[in-house]
Structure 1
Amino acid sequence: MNVQVKKVYRNYYLNITSALFKKLGLPQLIDHLVPVDPQCQTRVSDAVQAIIYNMFDGRQALVHVERWAQEIDLEKLIRPGLHPSWLNDDALARHLDRLYEAGIHNVISTCLIHIYRKEGLSLRAFHADTTDKTVYGAYESVSSEALRITHGYNRHHRWQKQIGFGLIGNEDGIPFYGDVHDGNLPDKTWNPEVLSHVHEQLKQAKMEDEWIYVADSAAMTKDTLAQTKA
């Protein structure tokens, strides 16, 4: 018997991640939320999966994802017929723009609600916190609605140029809401704002049972307490 090996791929644990992604039906949901021209070689879900798998596999810059994609079995991990050359940085950037234009927070929240409902995950308690990322250089926002990379106080009370990250998860640490926000947005403002989003997501998912909100002392403000009664 003559067996010829055409190529060996190093998928590792990406097989598990891919199987979960497909089992949850996320590729179809993402493409429904952010449709593209049928003549386009790639879909938004292709780009999302490629970027996520790449992050799990060492995280390359977008310009190097195409080369990285040649080392894994794309047709098994993402979908049949997908070619590594289609995942060039221009294609990935266009899909990221489409995600932003479709409302990135809406896309993420819809996917998370879908996962919670499909898997019957607990919504008894939510834990919330923020962190920051220091950046350098000059940044100019093209619109008032764009993310403001600006000076603010970090976790160590140092004044620096930064962006903020916020995350809310259930008692098992599974994310329910996440955002990237202005570098000078204080937790006292973030907490009531994010609570309104959580209420909206729960209402959208028809999950309106009582739940516990766990946060640090910055959440103890009049506005935050008002949102807990909403």
Structure 2
Amino acid sequence: MEYSSKIMDHHGIVAGVCNEIGLVDIIDSIIVPNEQQKVTTGESVMAMVINSLGFVSKPLYLFPDFMRNKPVHLFFDRDLQPEDFNDDTLGRALDRIYVNDPTNIFMQIAMKVAKMENIKRNFFHLDTSTMSVHGKYFQDDEDTIAIEITHGFSKDKRFDLKQFIISLITVSESDLPMWVDALSGNVSDKEHFREVIRNYAKMLAETNEKAYFIMDSAMYNEKSILEMSPLAYWISRVPETMKETKEVLIQTEQEQMIKSSLDGYSYLLTDSDYAGVDQQWLVIYSEKAFEREIKTFEKSIKKEETKIEKQLWHLGNEEFDCESDAVKELEKVQKKWKYHRMSGYDIIEKKRTGKRGRPKKGSEKVRIKYQLKAQFEKDTGRIDLERKRKGKFILATNSFEIEPDDILKEYKNQQGVERGFRFLKDPLFFTDAIFLKEPRRIVSLVMIMALSLLVYSLAQRKLRNVLKRLKETLPDQKGKPTDHPTMRWVFQQFQGIHVLEIRDGQHYEEQILNLRDRNTKVLRLLGEPYEKIYFLREGCGK
């Protein structure tokens, strides 16, 4: 009798989600397999998603070795083996994805999933983030339209490294990604946002869906507003550097504002025709933001006061050839002050002969030097104006139908796309890929990364919804009951689960090992297909 084992861990859950949404079939309907393929593109993609979501407590590498100790035949609808997923198989799959437009493939998958899961698609959150890379990347003739790995403005402050950019759209419900694109490392957000909305708005027009695009202040400029407003509804933060913004924030008194249904917020709605486009400006006051910004503001005032004291001490020890030179230097220094102003100064004459001591009576070459003794005070007028801006910001929209509270709520949901980027950039996610030295394969990999986020988010959404519906809980990291667990924590609870393989002549049997009560509960909540993969029901593995 022979015994061997394979590592199941949480990979069965990931495979279960992929099978539930029909990931392999969707991709294979777009990239139709040929007779020579032992592994289809859809199966290769599913394998890479399982690989990428294999993280728990240490980095993983996108490498065929990952599959060699996994029960691969339990994940797929047909009998595939670990050795089927080799470098060539995965590399060719990435090449086929690139040729067939990975952004379009992902969008088709996401749209079908959203329809299948009845996910509301009224609010789309759009943003970009940079991905820094090490090493050399090779661009061949086939890459003439691929992205360029190059230096650009790094949102990670890694200006020493080359980069590419990921553009992502998520929906408010469960932060599910709906669209992804890989861009060259020096692409401008402003230009890209306009292009995305042009293309995505056309697609939405075909479905007769009314949707809003939510973006950060990079979108808010005259050219973008003029071009995008006829195509779609949008919500954007107005840049605080604009003259109009500063004036509105100062002029809007807190007493004028209406208390929001969102705790700690107040607002005032006003009309604007910035860039010649009719729109609403929602001036928002946040109590928490005010407290935070005031503390920083007062520290800045104190810091400047200390700096000015040192400046004037040094200036007071300098000697000038004439009074006007001394005054000019004082005015030059004062121009850089933000929160203080000069309250007065005295000019002191000093006689100098070039020798130490008191000059003798009648001595020649006596020179007159001038020194400054300046005084300063807080510029209360400027400080009061600046204080009026604290805790406030402006959101703009070209829709006159949406309620103020909904504008604020959806802007706050912009954190969802930011969470998506944190997920994709987590060091426990993809850390290396030996066959990804070509930009076109990186473009395809970005789609795999977004699919991994989609599968992860779906699993989390599914589990949370069931817990709330059944009014059940799971223990969190501190052992306290929660109906809102993170899928990463749930995955960690599945570590150590193995499939035992028993061979006795012609007899072959499989058993699940180390499955605990808390694992069984999760699988029961997720449903029968997941229970089967973990041998809790007949027909296990399929």
The TM-score with structure 1 as length reference comes to 0.88
Distance 1:100 1:157 in 2: 29
Partner of 2:48: 51
Write the letter of the residue equivalent to 1:30.
I
Asked if 1:11 corresponds to 2:13, the answer is no
Distance 2:10 2:138 in 1: 40
Q: Structure 1 residues 40-49 or 12-21, which shifts more?
A: 12-21
Distance 1:105 1:156 in 2: 24
Write the letter of the residue equivalent to 1:24.
I
More strand by share: 2
**Deviation, structure 1 residue 39:** 2.9
Gaps of 5+ in 1: none
- Judge conservation of contact 2:127–2:216 (CA < 8 Å) in 1: yes
> What secondary structure is seen at the aligned counterpart in 2 of 1:181?
strand
Partner of 1:174: 176
Write the letter of the residue equivalent to 1:169.
T
Asked if 1:163 corresponds to 2:160, the answer is no
Q: 1:152 to 1:17 in 2, by over 3 A?
A: same
Q: Which among 88, 98, 107 is matched to residue 90 of structure 1?
A: 88
Q: Which among 18, 21, 24 is matched to residue 18 of structure 2?
A: 21
Matched pairs, number: 223
Distance 1:198 1:95 in 2: 26
> What secondary structure is seen at the aligned counterpart in 2 of 1:81?
coil
> What secondary structure is seen at the aligned counterpart in 1 of 2:35?
coil
Structure with bigger gyration radius = 2
Asked if 1:220 corresponds to 2:217, the answer is no
- Judge conservation of contact 1:192–1:224 (CA < 8 Å) in 2: yes
Distance 1:156 1:42 in 2: 38
Write the letter of the residue equivalent to 1:48.
V
Q: 1:144 to 1:186 in 2, by over 3 A?
A: same
The TM-score with structure 2 as length reference comes to 0.39
Partner of 1:211: 211
The alignment yields a C-alpha RMSD, in angstroms, of 2.1
Q: 1:99 to 1:50 in 2, by over 3 A?
A: same
Distance 1:32 1:156 in 2: 38
Q: 1:213 to 1:61 in 2, by over 3 A?
A: same
Partner of 2:128: 130
**Deviation, structure 1 residue 184:** 0.5
Distance 2:18 2:134 in 1: 35
Q: Structure 1 residues 194-203 or 26-35, which shifts more?
A: 194-203
Partner of 2:386: none
Asked if 1:152 corresponds to 2:152, the answer is yes
Q: Structure 1 residues 122-131 or 72-81, which shifts more?
A: 72-81
Distance 1:180 1:221 in 2: 24
- Judge conservation of contact 1:109–1:177 (CA < 8 Å) in 2: yes
Q: Deviations over 1:102-132 (max 9, x none)?
A: 1111111111111111111111211111110
Partner of 1:104: 102
- Judge conservation of contact 2:121–2:211 (CA < 8 Å) in 1: yes
- Judge conservation of contact 2:103–2:181 (CA < 8 Å) in 1: yes
Distance 1:24 1:167 in 2: 21
- Judge conservation of contact 1:195–1:224 (CA < 8 Å) in 2: no
Q: 1:136 to 1:193 in 2, by over 3 A?
A: same
Q: Deviations over 1:33-59 (max 9, x none)?
A: 011212321111111011111111136
Q: 1:115 to 1:224 in 2, by over 3 A?
A: farther
Higher relative contact order (Cα pairs below 8 Å, separated by 6+ residues): 2
Partner of 2:116: 118
Q: 1:23 to 1:203 in 2, by over 3 A?
A: farther
